[in-house]
Structure formats: C-alpha cells, structure tokens
Structure 1
Amino acid sequence: MEGSKCGGKNGSSSESRPPNPLSGAYRQCFNTAHVASPCRKTLVRHHSLVKMTTSDVSIGPALGEHCETGFIPIVRSGGWADIGFRQSMEDAYVCIDNFLQEYGRKSFCEGPSAFYGVFDGHGGKHAADFACNHLQRFIIEGEDFPREIERAVASAFLQTDIALAEACSVDNALASGTTALAALVVGRSLVVANAGDCRAVISRRGKAIEMSRDHKPVCMKERKRIEASGGYVYDGYLNGQLNVARALGDWHMEGMKSREGGPLSAEPELMSMNLTEEDEFLIMGCDGIWDVFTSQNAVDFARRKLQEHNDPVMCCKELIDEALKRKSGDNLSVVMVCFHSKPPPNLVVPRSRVQRSISAEGLRELQGFLDSLGN
C-alpha cells in the first residue's frame, strides 16, 4: 500500500497524494528563494534542547547504520479518523509506505522507506493540514537526509513551523496550531519524532513500548523549559492557554513564540531503534485515543483485532469505535504500521512450576491416615 492521506476520506494508504487544500496562500511562501535557505538561518533552539535531539530512554537495540543487514520489516499501514463528539474536525494523518518513490528518489538501502504522521490541530485545522502536507517534504529535501536522518527530521519540524508562520503572515485566517507525531521506517531502523501529546506505541511480542513522551505543561521537564523561556504554567495550561507544551504554529498567540524562541517549542523529541522480528506493529494516535486507552490496553486490543482479520485499516477504525464507546470527547485519529505480512502470533504463556514441600509432621499425619485405611 502506497500513498498518503491528509485529512481526507478514511481508509488505507493505497491512494495518491491529495491536493493541498490551502495551496493558494501557501504557494507564496514556498518558492525556493523565499523559504528553503532563509528558514535555516532563523531556526532557534532553546538551550535546554540543544543536547536533547534523541531521547535518553532505553527502548531496545541501538540505532545503527540504516542499511545494516538483519531483520527487514514488511510494512503495511492504514489510518482512520473521526470527528467524535466535537463540532469540527481538526486532525489529519498521512501514510506513505514508499517514501522515496513518492518523491521520485532512488532507494539507498534494502527494505522499506516509509513515512507516517498524525497531527492534532487546535484553533482550526489549517496548521494540521499544513504540517500533514509539508513536513515530509522538508525531511526528504533536507541537506542531512539520508546521511543523518534524525537531524533531518528535527530540522524539518522547525522548518515547517517557520514556513507556517510565513503562510500565516500572508493570510491571517490560517492562524492555528497543531501537535505533530512522525515516524520514519528506513530499512530496519525506526525513528519517531514528537512535538505535543500525540503518542506512538510499538508492540514487541505483545508488550507495549512507548516511542514518544507526552509533552504536557505539567511535566517537570517541560515546566522547567517553559519557565526558563519566560513562560508559566497555570492550572495545567501553558501561559494559561494551551494544554500542550510543544506544537507547530500558534504564532498568533501572544507570548508563545518568536523567532528568538519562546515557551511553546516546535522542537521534536526523537526516539530511535532497530526493529527486530519481535516488533509487530506501531500505533500512532492523537491524545483522544490515549484519554481512554493505556498504551498496553491499546496494544492488547489491536493485537486481538489483527489476529482476527490482519487488516490495519479495519483495526484503526475499531480502535476509534472503541474509544467512542469509552466516551472520548475529542477528535480521534490513529495510524497503524505493521512490520510483518502475517498477523501477530498467539502468545503461549508457560505455566510456572510451583515447588511444593511438606513438613515432617505433615508426613507423619499422612502416613497415619494411610495406615488407618489399611486396618
């Protein structure tokens, strides 16, 4: 399945790229002379993030060369979105199972080159649509891709944020914000980048491994960064206005962002790993999913559904249907990426051998009982 989906009709990733619904205003901001080079010079990273390109959380085998031999995943993906109980839909997602081919590039290693994203907008859908349509382009056209994929991804987040600011300066009606969660599968390497409270979870033989950290203002790490940037946290909200600590866009909100920095960061946090045969699938969902599912609960649910029909699209729809039954009050969007052609295997839990012993007194009583039966 190849292609992408940015907020359009639900389904698999087998359809071609949809037209950008906001191309009129964006076109003025996307000629190479205006964006590509100047954006690099305006990217500012807060000092607390300079050394935080990748997470220090141990999640499995270290990321090695992207073309290493070993397990090669077979990617299959799908996505689904639902307005939920909201009056408007502000989420978007994208699935590209063959990232390089989609952009006319030749493969540089064995295995897949895939890109996936989930974008949870707020204050309108324009920022989510913008990131959904342009983030992957900034990655693949970056000077660090594919030599340093993690650096290319981090730079693309910041370039997308700056480009969105340029678009909003052309048309104020586009002003909005979005969280962004992106995943790249290159060969057997998985790179996940997150800015906001969407979440990515991998199933490793049925065990949930979180591949992102929710960026909430109340988190100690985020709160320290916010306060060091001149912001504050009030009642769990950044500057009393946003319930996320990182996002793209929101340039129109006073005191949140400037070209020199600010408490609302577009800097992604990255986690990387080498996939193994035990890694079954990846779930990427907006916070409306995680409001009613724990990470392990979602993996358990998705695993059972894949064993029934082995269809990632249907599984995404069933996850959202279940979230609605559990009264999630948000827009809902989810992407699933399977790393095998077959469904997850049934797990047989070995029975533990319980060591039992009997005391000397108990043996005497048992012997006495047996003797009485013979008399």
Structure 2
Amino acid sequence: MNGSVEPQTPPDSPSMDVGVGKPPRHQLTSIRHCASSMRIAAAAASSDYGMDLGTLSLISPTDVRPGFLPVFRSGSCAEIGPKSYMEDEHVCVDNLIEHLGGRAAGIPAPGAFYGVFDGHGGTDAACFVRKNILKFIVEDMHFPNNVEKAIRGAFLKADHALADSHSLDNNSGTTALTALIFGRTLFVANAGDCRAVLGKRGRAVELSRDHKPNCKSEKIRIEKLGGTVFDGYLNGQLAVARALGDWHMKGPKGSISPLSAEPELQEIVLSEEDEFLIIGCDGLWDVMTSQCAVTIVRKELMQHNNPERCSSELVQEALKRDSYDNLTVVVICFSSNPPPQIDIPRSRVRRSISLEGLHLLRGALDRNA
C-alpha cells in the first residue's frame, strides 16, 4: 500500500464504476436488474413469511454435481428512509468477465461482483469505496492466484487512500461488504455491520458477522488495542467496530487503531441447494432477521422470479417495520429459474411446527453435528 493512490477518477479515464449511482436525496427508489441467458437446475422449498424466526449459520456443501454452474441475476433497491440524507452506496456486476474486458485473463467464468457500503459522517468514503474497491482487488499483486489476499489488500488500500486524499473528508467513513464469485466459489468480505445471507432451500445461512462494538470478540479486540466501548459505541463515537475511513478516529496512518478496516472473509462453494444471496446495509437487519428476509425473497421469486422486485419488497417491509436508517438491499439469484415448490410427504402424526421452524431446527442440528 502506498500513498500515491488517486482517490478521484479523472472524467476521461476508464472507470470501474458500473453505473449504480448514489440514490437521490429524496424518497425515491433506485433499482437495477440484470439477467443472464445461462441456466442451471434448482431445488428448493416454499414457505410463507408470516413468522420472524431468527437465523441459521451453515456452510454450503462442496459435493456439487459435475458441470453445475450458477447463473447471476441481480436486482437492487435503495431508499433514503426516514433520514434527511442518503449515505448508502451499492454496486452490481452480473458479468465480471465482460466488465473487466482485457483484464479478465485467467479469471474463472462465470464471474460476478456485488457490494453494499453504509457511509457515515458524509458520503465521501462510501462513494469512493464503491467506485474503487473492485479496481483495487483486480490490481492487487495476488489477484487472481490468491483471491483472499487480494481482497484483504484492496480493503486496506482503499482505507489508506482515504487517509491520503486531500479532497475527501477525513471525518467520513463507511462499512463495506463485498461478494466476489468465480464459477462456483463465493468470497464474502465484510468490515462493519452490513450482512450477507444465503438462501439455501428456504433456510437462511449467514455468511458474515455484524461487527458491532458490543459483540464479545470485537469488544475484546477493541479493549486490547486501548479502545473502549461505551453504551454500544466504539470510544463513545461510532456504532461499528470496523470501517474504512474515519481517520479522525484512527490516528496517524500505520498506527494500530481499535477501529479496524480489516475484513472478515468467508469462502464457500455454491451447490444446487444455494438459490440466492441477499446483501444489505444494517437498515434492513435492524428490523428483520435473516430467516425472515430469506423467506420473503423465496416466496416472491416463486411468484414472479424477479430479484429487483424482491429487493424492493424487502425495503418496503423494513419501512413498514419502522426502520430508522437508509435502506439498501441487493438480491442475487443463482439460477434463471424460480425456486420450485417441494412436496412434503404427509405424516400420520400431526405437526405443530412450521416449515420455517423445521429449517431452524435442521440448521441447529447441522451446526452441532
């Protein structure tokens, strides 16, 4: 990492910006939907979304049918919500090979890239990271041979670029969550309290951890580095334990700070059970569990198979639940087909547990196996 990174993209030079701009500063929806012609088989279960049943944490199996490849179709929705201005940003690239052009040599196909960025203290940091994070990943010396190192390096490079910039506000910061997919391999990187949730045959599989200051592991890390957590805030100022930017809190570049830009990474191999991915800023997760979001999206996909409408439905549901934050959601489908309904064999014993409850129980048993 060096201090020579140019934080602004010159108007006449190629940009990694894929056209997902900052939502307007009034209550309008900014939505984009992309589709691919590739097809795969899908298997799934249906369920109603009246119950808000919590979350699961499972790892996707690696025993994938030979020849299986996912299809990437995404839809996004962003609204200002009840706040006076919009600080969220997001990016969707459904065809990474086409997007990168000549720089795509050696990258497995198909490929895709998605991200959500929840800014605070102004829009500068979130806007800059949205425009540059994919470029920093691709330009990293470890890419594409060691994707994890490339992603970690890109997060830190973006953080240092914010420190070096003379045109961006040093008081501005952002959380960042990215999803990079090569073939069947999905890499989720998270620094902050955005969240990635996989829909797996109707079950919610959390692929990221919310970095809140009062989270036990984050609190221990913060206090070891000389920081404090007061009333759920890092040093009494910030509601997240990890973020890019915020250099008024981090001190001189190169020093160790309780506020970390280091992302946590999760790598999984997608299987035919993995139907879609939801990534969203905390305005959604403050009022909705991961399982509830998966249940809503799956039911909507079965009805109209449109990830754009699914993302809008999640945002509207969060607003009904009185979310007090900006709202940004991206839904990524892994098949061109809607999730089919699975017939559940009738039992002679009357059940008193819902299908969602069964998913929750199965997840708990798998986790403890």
**AA paired with 2:333?**
C
Residue 131 of structure 1 is matched in structure 2 by 129
Q: CA deviation at 1:63?
A: 11
Residue 318 of structure 2 is matched in structure 1 by 323
Residue 346 of structure 1 is matched in structure 2 by 341
| Unaligned stretches of 5+ residues in structure 2 | 1-16, 25-29, 36-56, 351-369
Residue 237 of structure 1 is matched in structure 2 by 233
Runs of 4+ in 1 over 6 A off after TM superposition: none
Residue 110 of structure 2 is matched in structure 1 by 112
Residue 89 of structure 1 is matched in structure 2 by 86
| Unaligned stretches of 5+ residues in structure 1 | 16-56, 356-375
1:311/1:208 CA distance change after superposition, 3 Å: same
Residue 180 of structure 2 is matched in structure 1 by 184
Residue 98 of structure 1 is matched in structure 2 by 95
1:332-357 per-position Cα deviation (integer Å, ceiling 9, x unaligned): 001111000011111333333439xx
Whole-angstrom distance in 2 between the partners of 1:298 and 1:59: 18
User: What is the TM-score with the length of structure 1 in the denominator?
Assistant: 0.77
Residue 273 (structure 2) aligned to one of 262, 275, 278: 278
1:163/1:175 CA distance change after superposition, 3 Å: same
Whole-angstrom distance in 2 between the partners of 1:286 and 1:76: 20
Q: CA deviation at 1:154?
A: 1.1
Q: Which has the higher contact order (CA 8 A, sep 6+)?
A: 2
Q: Is the 8 A contact 2:34 2:74 kept in 1?
A: no
* 1:12 lines up with 2:32 in the alignment: yes
Residue 77 of structure 2 is matched in structure 1 by 80
Q: Which moved more, 1:227-236 or 1:170-179?
A: 170-179
1:66-111 per-position Cα deviation (integer Å, ceiling 9, x unaligned): xx95421010011110000000000000001122321222353653
Q: Is the 8 A contact 1:11 1:80 kept in 2?
A: yes
Question: Paired residues, what number?
Answer: 307
Whole-angstrom distance in 1 between the partners of 2:23 and 2:319: 20
1:163/1:321 CA distance change after superposition, 3 Å: same
Which secondary structure does the structure 2 equivalent of 1:103 belong to? helix
Q: Is the 8 A contact 1:13 1:96 kept in 2?
A: no
- Rg bigger for which structure? 1
Q: Is the 8 A contact 1:119 1:132 kept in 2?
A: yes
Q: Is the 8 A contact 1:257 1:265 kept in 2?
A: no
**AA paired with 1:176?**
S
1:251-262 alignment, distance < 5 Å: 251-253=247-249, 258-262=253-257
1:1-375 alignment, distance < 5 Å: 3-8=18-23, 10-14=30-34, 59-61=59-61, 70-104=67-101, 105-106=103-104, 108=106, 111-167=109-165, 170-171=166-167, 173=169, 175-253=171-249, 258-354=253-349
The percentage of counterpart residues that share the same residue type is 53
Whole-angstrom distance in 1 between the partners of 2:238 and 2:319: 24
Q: Which moved more, 1:321-330 or 1:341-350?
A: 341-350
Q: CA deviation at 1:257?
A: 6.7
Whole-angstrom distance in 2 between the partners of 1:116 and 1:61: 22
Whole-angstrom distance in 1 between the partners of 2:107 and 2:159: 30
User: What is the TM-score with the length of structure 2 in the denominator?
Assistant: 0.78
Which secondary structure does the structure 1 equivalent of 2:331 belong to? strand
Residue 25 of structure 1 is matched in structure 2 by none
Q: Which moved more, 1:327-336 or 1:110-119?
A: 110-119
Q: Is the 8 A contact 1:62 1:272 kept in 2?
A: no
Q: Is the 8 A contact 1:189 1:274 kept in 2?
A: yes
Which secondary structure does the structure 2 equivalent of 1:252 belong to? helix
1:165/1:62 CA distance change after superposition, 3 Å: farther
How big is the alpha-carbon RMSD for the aligned residues of Structure 1 and Structure 2? 2.3
Q: CA deviation at 1:62?
A: 5.5
Which secondary structure does the structure 1 equivalent of 2:142 belong to? coil
Residue 365 of structure 2 is matched in structure 1 by none
1:278/1:133 CA distance change after superposition, 3 Å: same
